[in-house]
Amino acid sequence: MSQTVTTTSWSSRLVNSLIGMLFGFALVAGSFWFIFWNEKNGLHQAQSLHQTQQVVISIPIKPIDKNNELKVIYLSGLATTEDILSDDILNFKMNAIRLNRDVKMFQWKQNKETTTEKNTGGSETQTTTYTYETVWSNDLISSKNFQDPEGHQNPATKPFNSKQKDASKVTIGDFIIPYDLVSKMTLATPIDLAGIDTSNIQKYTDLKISHNDTDIYLGENSKSPQVGDVRIHVTAVLPQTVSIIAQQIGNTMQPYMAPAGLPIALLYPGQLSSAQIIRNAEIENQKLIWLYRGLSLLAMIIAIALILAPVSVLADVIPFFGNIVEFGSFLIAVVVGTVLWTIGFAIAWFVVRPLLAVGMVVAVIVIGYGLLHRKKQNLNNAG
């Protein structure tokens, strides 16, 4: 563990906060744009899915009917391939849609934690503590830039890297599945490497080679890994049943460009109906809409906090007052950011969904009028 201590003057902090304030204004504008884009895109995606559901037809996976050319089709069956995928390093081959060799190395990782202390006069002292831990990582972690490299050196190279191979042709019945749909087939099966001949691996490393469960281990002891040890894990996407909605074109498929403006090409594992496929896509769309709403709200709050930051820095000449102002600025940022986000969200709804928005406003007015009228009648009856 090691530490570094740096002090930033009050004037430097003030300049940085002013630069941050300019970025905050830009982030406010970006947040408004993102709110509008998300509502518009989410609506168009929902409309595109609904329009797809209205025109989709169910067809058998073979033979191909040319009368369905450019129609939106639903089909379900075994996605398979005749390709034999091989791994030259592990010296084995198998029939698979995708073969993924995952190679992790045991390495040092640097973590840092920074604490900040305000000083009288407005300067700020930052103490950064560096700690180290060992982790399994796919990527090489360079130890050259570690704060304390002594005793925490990582190897500069791996014996070999992770690698993915895909079948050149995947079919479902007489149809060829396009790559953009094949890439959605992520249901993978771990491959047992216990029977793999490891003699070829020895060409690439001087480490001891052994089997660890279904994996191959390069190192002295898999129970007590050392920096530089390597673990090899292989998974394969095997032939499997899938359900697809797309547009037929020749002996393959392409995304259907719905009237709402977005392309639709869907693939899910298993035997699903066309209605289930659309429903799954609608659920995913809703989740994405709400995720982006949350991100835009967070961005708006951060933007307001950046705009108010110079006020806190000015007050930091006396740290006690600076802390009070900083806390107050945070509360203001949350309130103002939320209000601005709500306004932006409401405007976006009026622009993107005018009929629904107007209907909601009318409903609120009617309900409000009904409650006031009922209250007035109660008062009259009581009198």
Q: Which has the minimum average pLDDT: 42-51, 181-190, 261-270, 373-382?
A: 373-382
pLDDT digits (tens, 9 = 90+) for 306-329: 998 888 877 777 777 777 888 888
Q: Which residue has the tokens 């601005």?
A: 340
| pLDDT band, very low/low/confident/very high, at 241 (cuts 50, 70, 90) | very high
What is the 8-class DSSP label of residue 113?
E
The answer to whether residue 193 scores a pLDDT higher than 90 is: no
- DSSP element (H, E) containing 108: strand 98-118
CA–CA distance from 180 to each of 144, 258, 264, 265 (Å)? 39, 18, 11, 9
What is the 8-class DSSP label of residue 191?
P
Contact predicate 72/246, CB 8 Å: yes
Q: DSSP assignment of 61-75, as one string?
A: SSS--GGGTTSEEEE
Mean pLDDT of 259-288: 95
Contact predicate 285/201, CB 8 Å: no
The answer to whether residue 89 scores a pLDDT higher than 70 is: yes
Report which of 345, 315, 342, 341 is spatially closest to residue 329, judged by C-alpha positions.
Answer: 315
Q: How far apart are CA 93 and CA 184, in angstroms?
A: 23
Q: Which has the minimum average pLDDT: 24-33, 339-348, 374-383?
A: 374-383
What is the 8-class DSSP label of residue 39?
H
- State the pLDDT at residue 105: 95
pTM higher than 0.85? no
- State the pLDDT at residue 177: 96
The encoded tokens of residue 138 equal 């796919």
The answer to whether residue 371 scores a pLDDT higher than 80 is: no
Amino acid at 355: L
Domain residues of the chain, as ranges? 8-51+286-382, 56-107+135-272
The answer to whether residue 365 scores a pLDDT higher than 90 is: no
Contact predicate 145/121, CB 8 Å: no
Mean pLDDT of 179-191: 93
Q: How far apart are CA 354 and CA 133, in angstroms?
A: 55
pLDDT digits (tens, 9 = 90+) for 100-140: 999 999 999 999 998 888 888 777 888 889 999 999 999 99
Q: How far apart are CA 52 and CA 236, in angstroms?
A: 32
The answer to whether residue 145 scores a pLDDT higher than 90 is: no
